Amino acid sequence: MTVLRRNCVVVAMSGGVDSSVACLLMKEQGNEVIGISMKTHEENGDGRAKTCCAARDIQDARRICQQLDIPFYPLNLKEEFSQGVIGEFAAEYSRGRTPNPCVLCNDRLKFTALLSKAKQLGAYYLATGHYVQKIRDGNGRYHLHKARDLEKDQSYFLFGLSQAQLEHLLFPIGRCTKAEVRELARTAGLETAEKPESQEICFVSSGHYSDIVESRYPALKGRRGVIVNREGQVLGEHDGIHAFTVGQRRGLKVSGADRLYVTQLIPEQNKVVLGSKEDLMRKGVLVKGTRWINPDLVTSGLEVETKIRYRHPPIRSTLSVLDEGTLRVGFERPDGAIAPGQAAVFYRGEELLGGGWIEEGIDA
């Protein structure tokens, strides 16, 4: 059995400035530091898109580790990523849902496969460049709070973390602003100091995400269907519901007197339903597959702030526990940015409580 060394930290290196500075800070604190990167997919573009985990990013991570004079290990996770992230991404779109691949990647790879590898290397800790703060209370329980830099806060993507995982995780830059991170990198002469941030879906560096879906589900390509209004009147045709998401208003190829939005996708009928912005509004959501940082904090009637998309403003809400893993979330005010398949993430002030997957919008 491998003995874990508490002064040994494996740093997940994405090739960007954030993980580079996380690595720098861990070394400056006197730890034995090892860098590791995930090879997750083959690039399908020209290599210049603002994504992460591409071949050039692994080379950047390697150079940072050379600068800091620490070991570096690339880890081939292409098969796991293909099945657990890209496969689920395509499957969800084929079902008329809107997935969040970054949540899937964190949940199924970064904090499982990488944490396992860290322990194999004898490291007690895995550190990442996420903007989030881990806090331990007087009873030894761990809590996750939003980052100091709220514009960069990434707690939304980490609702699936457990107490057992948090015991072995570090987030060195959670108390830094992005400007401070870049300045630390410049001062240390790190090559990634001015590197642009990753912005797109990492495995969709060119073309449209629907190309990925069609590569997994060829029968969807060119599968024409109808676009209708709420009354069922045909407004036009589409080439596949997998190219649409609830709330979408651009690229509909249908004109009307009023602005139209996708209000519903009906995969079994291959039908896209359009309506007004008011038609999108719902009083709450049904959420399944919920996970909690501290499960003992969750009870029916708990008042929280709910984020139904990463950049969407939080909505004051009340939770009703229906059964294990299923919640009814009632909003203080109706909202229209509800897309089945997206993550609903719950906060109490600055603290991340947990989250789950939106099943549908509700009106009661």
Active site residues: 105, 202
CA-wise closest residue to 190 among 291, 97, 70, 300: 70
**The two structure tokens encoding residue 64:** 């940072």
Are residues 293 and 352 in contact, defined by beta-carbon separation less than 8 angstroms? yes
Q: Is 255 left (phi over 0), alpha (psi -120 to 50) or beta?
A: beta
Cβ-based neighbour number of residue 226 at 10 Å:
16
Residue 180 CA, distance from chain mean position: 24
Kind of pairing between the strands at 351-362 and 142-146 = antiparallel
Give the helix, strand, coil percentages of the chain, each rounded to 5: 30, 30, 40
Identify the DSSP state of 46: -
Nearest to 16 by CA among 191, 170, 205, 147: 191
The 3 state secondary structure assigned to 301-321 is: CCEEEEECCCCCCCEEEEEEE
